[in-house]
Chains A and B, each alone.
Chain A
């Protein structure tokens, strides 16, 4: 039972980290264009094409 003294704070800490991580993804606009993100993965990198830059978080 003594283990709980460490385990309980540890679990709560991990929960808070998870919450923080999710809120960060939310703030940085990663859900702004879900459809586009799904399609973008199909774009081939072409050596001679100008790189596609991301303006994420810029708006």
Chain B
């Protein structure tokens, strides 16, 4: 894990400054000597943000172009000359109030989504074909004065448009059907391909023989409607894939290595060898696992262990990658390479979990598995039955078999799930819930247990002053605290409000702050530092001590604040029949206090990432379907192992990558809405399938008996697709507001 990926935490804990990786390696130079940098920008939401960022950057001398892509939250800056540097430009954006993180140039290049682009083109061409063929079909359906010669002429023109369109737009279906057939299997695309090709062939021969019916319009429209469904589905999956890829790109990490000649150099984490000596500035994140050689500091292990209180780091202590150094520079000796570090282990656990999750069979695929054999059998039976009818020719038999294939409504089936998922994710997105994939919604709909992490999920993830305090002591202590960046000092300052810092205050790493208040010496920090005669308090609450010369020491107690709507959310989840549990890596007393505060009965504390997975496995063994909500790196693997997962927006990027859903904003209540929407989305999808089944029950016998004219086929096809889409749109409407 990298300093770059740490932005949310870094902004939470400490000012950026040294916490950021040197962005210079992210700059690309183009042929005309212009430098180009891509940044991921968090927090830009509106026109004012665009104008602020772009104008702010364009005002920097040398900057030629700045363009913010609001949808992708991606900023591209191009500049020339030495007046601007990557670091100075990032500073400009951050001073404007937006977190900006450089992207790895190789990985950031928007994957040219060749497949998506091809699908889109095919869809557009099919749409064009459908509309233009329809121009010639409508007069034929209308009948009237149209002679047989004109009709045949119109059919030939239709064929001229429909055949190239169908052969081009049908490629994804033909290719997929061919792949399946070669492996001896049949998928949804087999009947579609056979239907398209057979119907085209029958239509051509009918036209050549001067027959009354040809299905050119139906073929192209079928492809158009199918491609809409395919394209929607592909876009949803692609979005999930890009989200994961973006986060990977963010993980490119740097470390400062001390060379044998005493000079320092910035190197990528993957180039750090075991035994290298690394410098770790205050606020910086450990890039690879290492042992402290020199220095004393305090570190934040929240992302690795879930522990919310800072921990002392002394010579000989092991620091895992992902730990943030808080107060003083440290010198480390690397004990692992980047790919054997704890982070890499977690990444492997995540991958393993995701593979298991791949076992989820999507509703649409289940429907297809039923559909394929039935349609094949029906079409074959139709053909066979008509061959047995004495005065029917093989032409009629083939025509009716083709009609069965084309009218069995694979388009409504193809649209049923993606249309609903697009509407559902769009609706959730407006409420600040980012759903990364369509099947996540399907998995979420069937959840019966919610497992919450404590630090950063149920709580805000930062300490807050609790208990009764003496206002005068607080105001005095805050003067000392203002010179420190320690999380506890910041919490103290937050509680005391604005004021002046103490004179001549200095921070002593691992101990506290010392200075003068109204001329008298004062100290703020650990108990042993403030009052040397006392014994160190072991375990228990997170505390700070404060003493002025001649006065008794005062104790301040801190606790991680529970999110304001946590209790209401837990109650709302229960009301929906879900079991709620707490699973944390933090100390048992802290976990129990949080569980009591929000009304959760089942709480497990002090769990390592592997134990968290075991816990989830145990739940699954009982047949429960689990939604895991967590934010720390220690949760990432558990998130991947659960049936479905969510993480708050303040989570580390690796964790967000492992989660299906990212909740923006400070509120946990979005979880309730998420479950509601997922459940109604599932209901809509099932309704759509039911509708398709009923439709087929009517259409197939009609087609088999030869009653389906091209007009009826076109009407039924468009009508059923429209009905399915309208049903999906019901999700976006009123009356589904989540209640918390």
Return the 10 tightest CB-CB contacts between A and B, nearest first: A36-B70, A42-B47, A39-B47, A50-B58, A35-B71, A19-B128, A33-B69, A55-B67, A43-B51, A35-B70
**A59 CB contacts on chain B under 8 angstroms:** 76, 110
A-B interface pairs (CB < 8 A), number: 69
Known interface pairs A11-B132, A50-B55, A53-B64; 4 further A-B residue pairs with C-beta atoms within 8 A, sorted by A's residue number: A1-B150, A26-B121, A41-B47, A42-B47
**Chain A interface extent, by class:** 20 to 34
Quick check: A26 and B120 within 8 Å, CB to CB? yes
CB distance from B216 to the nearest CB of A (A): 14
Do A23 and B121 form a contact, CB below 8 Å, given A11-B132, A50-B55, A55-B65?
A: yes
The answer to the question of A47 belonging to the interface, with a C-beta cut-off of 8 Å to chain B, is: no
Interface string of B42-80 (1 = CB under 8 A from A): 000011001100110011000011011111100010100
Name 19 A/B residue pairs within 8 A (Cβ), A-sorted: A1-B150, A11-B135, A15-B131, A18-B128, A23-B121, A23-B124, A26-B121, A26-B124, A32-B69, A32-B71, A33-B70, A36-B68, A39-B47, A40-B47, A43-B47, A50-B55, A52-B51, A55-B76, A58-B65
| Interface pair A39/B69, CB less than 8 Å apart | no
CB A9 to nearest CB in B, in angstroms, measures 10
Q: Which residues of B contact A8 (CB under 8 A)?
A: 157
Is B161 part of the binding interface, using a Cβ–Cβ cutoff of 8 Å?
A: yes
Give complex CA distance A1, B150 in Å: 9
A16 to B132, CA, bound (A): 9
**Residue B125 at the chain A interface, CB threshold 8 Å:** yes
In the bound assembly, the distance between CA atoms of A8 and B160 in angstroms comes to 12
CA distance in complex: A15, B131 (Å):
9
B50 x A43 contact (CB < 8 A)? yes
Number of B residues near A (Cβ < 8 Å) is 30
Q: Are A39 and B161 in contact, with the CB atoms below 8 A?
A: no
Set of chain A residues within 8 Å of B135, measured between Cβ atoms: 11
Q: Does A22 contact B (CB under 8 A)?
A: yes
Chain B residues whose C-beta falls within 8 Å of the C-beta of A3 in the assembled complex = none
Give Cα A19 to B71, complex, Å: 26
Chain A 3-26 per-residue mask, 1 if CB under 8 angstroms from chain B, else 0? 000001001100110110011001
Q: How far is the CB of A21 from chain B (nearest CB, A)?
A: 11
B65, A12: Cβ atoms under 8 Å? no
Q: Give chain B interface residues in 120-158, CB to chain A under 8 Å.
A: 120-121, 124-125, 128, 131-132, 135, 150, 157
Cross-interface CB contact of A12 among B71, B132, B150, cutoff 8 Å: B132
Assess the B124–A22 pair: CB atoms within 8 A.
yes
Q: How far is the CB of B66 from chain A (nearest CB, A)?
A: 8
What residues make up the interface of B, taking CB atoms closer than 8 Å to A? Answer: 46-47, 50-51, 54-55, 58-59, 64-65, 67-72, 76, 78, 110, 120-121, 124-125, 128, 131-132, 135, 150, 157, 161
**What residues make up the interface of A, taking CB atoms closer than 8 Å to B?**
1, 8, 11-12, 15-16, 18-19, 22-23, 26, 32-36, 39-44, 49-55, 58-59
CB distance from A14 to the nearest CB of B (A): 9
> Hey, which chain A residues are within 8 Å of B67, CB to CB?
53-55
Q: Compute how far the CA of A55 lies from the CA of B38 in the bound complex, rounded to whole angstroms.
A: 13
Complex CA distance for A59 and B77, rounded to whole angstroms: 12
The answer to whether B46 touches A53 (Cβ under 8 A) is no
How many angstroms between the C-alpha atoms of A52 and B121 in the bound complex? 31
CA distance A53 to B135 in the complex (A): 43
CA distance A50 to B132 in the complex (A): 47
Give bound CA distance, A43 to B68, whole Å.
13
How far, in Å, is B117 (CB) from chain A's closest CB?
8
Residues of B within 8 A of A41 (CB): 47
**Contact among B46, B55, B132 with A49 in the assembled complex (CB-CB below 8 Å):** B55
**Are the C-beta atoms of A34 and B71 separated by less than 8 Å?**
yes
Residues of B close to A33: CB separation below 8 A: 69-72
- The CA of A32 and the CA of B120, in the complex, are separated in Å by 14
A39 lies within 8 A of B121 (CB): no
Q: How far is the CB of B166 from chain A (nearest CB, A)?
A: 15
Complex Cα spacing A12 to B128, Å: 10
Determine whether the beta carbon of A19 is less than 8 Å from that of B70.
no
CB-based contact B125/A19 at 8 Å: yes
> Which residues of A have CB within 8 Å of B76?
55, 59
Contact partner of B54 (CB less than 8 A), chosen from A23, A44, A52, is A52
**Distance in Å: Cβ of B50 to nearest Cβ of chain A:** 6
Min CB gap B162→A, angstroms:
12
A39–B69 Cα distance when bound, in Å, is 11
Residues of A within 8 A of B71 (CB): 32-36
When C-beta atoms are compared, the residue in chain B nearest to A53 turns out to be B65
Closest partner residue, chain A, to B136 (CB atom): A8
* A55, B58: Cα distance in complex, Å: 13
* Smallest beta-carbon distance B42→chain A, Å: 15
Name the A residues within 8 Å of B59 (CB-CB).
50
Which residues on the B side are within 8 Å of A35 (C-beta)? 70-71
- Tell me whether B132 and A15 are in contact (CB under 8 A): yes
Q: Which chain B residue shows the least CB distance to A22?
A: B124
Query: B95 CB to closest chain A CB, in angstroms?
Result: 17
Cβ-closest chain B residue relative to A34: B71
For B124, list chain A residues within 8 Å (CB): 19, 22-23, 26
Nearest A residue to B49 via CB reads: A39
Contacts of B150 in A (CB 8 A): 1
Q: Name B30's closest neighbour in chain A (CB-CB).
A: A58
CA–CA, A34 and B70, complex, Å: 8
Q: Which residue of B lies closest to A18 (CB)?
A: B128
A20 to chain B minimum Cβ distance, whole angstroms, is 10
Instruction: Say yes or no: B110 contacts A39, CB within 8 Å.
Output: no
